[in-house]
Amino acid sequence: MCNQYKLILLLLFFCLPFGFLTADENSQLFKILKKKEIIVSVGGDYEPYYIKNPKPGYPGFEVELARAFAEYLGVTLKEVVPLQTFADHARAIKSGRVDISFGNSSSLKRGQQLGFSDSYYSTSPGALVSKSLLPAESEGQVVTNKIYRKLTDLKSISGLVIGVKDNTSNLEYVRENFPRVTIKPYPTDEVSFNALNENEINCYVADNLFIEALIQKNPSLKIKMQPVVEPVIEKQLSITMRKNDLELINEANFFIREMKRTGEINRLKEKYFNNNAWVR
């Protein structure tokens, strides 16, 4: 009887996927492995993390990460769902609409709602500011030197009106660091950026890498706008999932460590953030 039991265990070991033997049946990892597919959400308006109408071979930084993670788990990437805010991602994960999410920065408050992996990339609040707002030289020319390198350098500027996407860590940052400045939250980054072009605001705040991407797409912006992109804080971008889903977090952490160790993260950074080949 003992030998028969050992034989059954041996057959199970070779016939079942390894993840099924190790994952708790209540974990999201088990569910992903069982259905052999994964659904991922990403930031819907943050090119080139996600690109709405991509060129062949350039689906977006985080879409490529999602594909690699699915391949690592041995499942199919069934769908990439573009969402707008952290609250949208949190609802999608909690409801089961998606399995995991890319592109959210961590905080103690957010950590009360979702589980966060190790960081795969870091970013910081940056800005596009109208050059007409900056002090002029004696000849009347707008200063375009490198004094204004980071967002906090703008604290000395009078008449600043900041536009920023609502319900984001960037909004929290500017409210805390620019308490006497007029701040206008907008529903999306596209609306915020349009407000800058239409002179409703004179400073548009977003992630510094996203600001750089806007410049890559529209080089003429630098004629009237000053990009301010040096880091002021470190926003850690992580894979998010259900709270306390330790098995899935462990797999995500191992995946991220290997992507960093092999240089794959740096390759993707070079592909999307250090050139404009992804721009149509």
pLDDT tens-digit series, residues 108-144: 999 999 999 999 999 999 999 999 888 765 555 554 4
pLDDT tens-digit series, residues 219-245: 898 899 999 999 999 999 999 999 989
Check pLDDT > 60 for residue 20: no
Residue 263's CB is within 10 A of a number of other CB atoms, namely: 11
pLDDT tens-digit series, residues 77-93: 999 999 988 999 999 99
pLDDT tens-digit series, residues 241-271: 999 899 999 999 999 999 999 999 999 999 9
Name the band, by pLDDT with cuts 50, 70 and 90, for residue 10.
Answer: very low
Distance of CA 163 to the CA centre of its chain: 19
What CATH superfamily classification does 125-228 receive?
A: Periplasmic binding protein-like II (3.40.190.10)
Three-class SS string for the chain?
A: CHHHHHHHHHHHHHHCCHHHHHCCCCCHHHHHHHHCEEEEEEECCCCCCCCCCCCCCCCCHHHHHHHHHHHHHCCEEEEEEEECCHHHHHHHHHHCCCCEEEEEECCHHHHCCEEEEEEEEEECEEEEEEHHHCCECCCCCECCCCCCCEHHHHHHCCCCEEEEECCCHHHHHHHHHCCCCEEEEECCHHHHHHHHHCCCCCEEEEEHHHHHHHHHHCCCHHHHEEEECECCCCEEEEEEEECCCHHHHHHHHHHHHHHHHCCHHHHHHHHHHCCCCCCC
Fold classified for 18-123+235-273: D-Maltodextrin-Binding Protein; domain 2 (3.40.190)
Q: Is-same-fold flag (18-123+235-273; 125-228)? A: yes
Q: What is the pLDDT of residue 141?
A: 52
Query: Regarding beta strands 182-186 and 161-165, do their DSSP bridges make them parallel or antiparallel, or are they unpaired?
Result: parallel
Q: What is the pLDDT of residue 2?
A: 47
Check pLDDT > 50 for residue 153: yes
Domain boundaries, the chain: 18-123+235-273, 125-228
Residue 133's CB is within 10 A of a number of other CB atoms, namely: 16
The per-residue pLDDT of the chain, averaged, comes to 87
Place of tokens 């080089």: 219
